[in-house]
Amino acid sequence: MPVLALYNLKLISAGTITEGKAVLIENGTVIDVIDESAIPADAEKKSLNGAFLAPGFIDLQIYGSGGKLFAGTPTVEALEQLENDLLNQGTIGVFATIGTNTNEIVETGIEAAKIYSQKSRGAFWGLHLEGPYLNPAKKGAHPEKFIKKATLTEVKGWLEKADGVIKMITIAPELQDQEVIDYLYEQGVIISSGHSNATYAEGKSFLKKPVQAVTHLFNAMPSMHHREPGYIPAIFEEKPYTSIVVDGIHVDFAMVRLAKRELGDKLFLITDAVTSTKEGAYQHELRGDRYTMPDGTLSGSNLTMLKAVENCVKLAGIDLAEAVNMASLYPAELASQTKKGKIEKGFDADLVIFNADFEVLGTILKGDFLTKTT
């Protein structure tokens, strides 16, 4: 196979936008980024007609897609639907997420993930367990009857059963025993604090010691107050990797701007997206521009990653190249995916092409242009 040379594009990588460059791809890898005038004569040339070329997006928190809610009915088919839909949307890496639920659902999800990881196209990276070890005071849409304190025996059992497929877990650290937190950290699981009612002092005690991340900033956590600062100022000071849902519903755009000023290159985008379903513990209903539970409680979002990028640019005052970092480079760093999130020599050729109207024109996975899958 000849080297593929992509040209006539606006290259977004590492916080900058560059024109007049060509990206050379071979065997699923970016082998160089060069001036268009230097494209080798024997390369297979492909013009992108002036579109943006960016690192493929990475979504570390999403529950399901296309009417199949993996989080509620965790099947191999739901994972396949999720991966195909996300690849069509320019997302090349995903942690499928299971919210607080019964042990049976969690364990069924683990088994489905293990099976699907053997046949995945490459965008399914593993599981994110959001719960059940949360703080009921900040349960949000999570059913309180399933929320509990972690035991080392249960956590060990799940991780051993998972055989490496559990990549991330959201817990309320202030309620957990240190031995559980230490075990998760030693096993290489990303520990994220979420649905937490931690105080400022508690946050200072566990963030980055060793809790590496925070789940959906501002949602399901105490608000700031000038005499009771609460958890959020501790997040701003310790600066762990922190996810945020930029749909204007879960978080006002003024607060997105504040978070960006405080957290800089540690703030990253998730969709927190769900899909409509009438079965299981999470019966999400699309009401206008948002999903809610049947009782009206706000649940997951209706976002795509590119829509979150667009919202950052148009409504939160964040430069396009930096918004792309928030959707690719920073989650890649948190997930220890050292060859994702940039378009540079030696990085994986997992890319997204989109236009000035924020429409996905194509996805490249392992160097191959994907045809859309319904």
Positions marked catalytic: 272
What is the DSSP code (8-state) at residue 189?
A: P
CA distance 52 to 85: 21
| Angle of helix 305-315 versus helix 320-327 axis, rounded to 10 | 150
Question: Rounded to whole angstroms, how far apart are CA atoms 321 and 307?
Answer: 14
Q: Which of 194, 320, 319, 298 is nearest to 251 (CA)?
A: 298
Per the DSSP assignment, residues forming a β-bridge with 16 are 13
Question: Amino acid letter at 11?
Answer: L
Q: Give the span between the Cα atoms of 123 and 59, in whole angstroms.
A: 10
Q: Which two structure tokens, joined as six digits, stand for 107?
A: 């364990």
Torsion angle, alpha carbons of 132, 135, 140, 141, to 10: 20
Whether residue 173 contacts residue 181, with contact meaning beta carbons closer than 8 Å, is answered with: yes
SS3 content of the chain, % helix, strand, coil (to 5): 30, 25, 45
- Distance from C-alpha of 178 to C-alpha of 223, rounded to nearest angstrom: 25
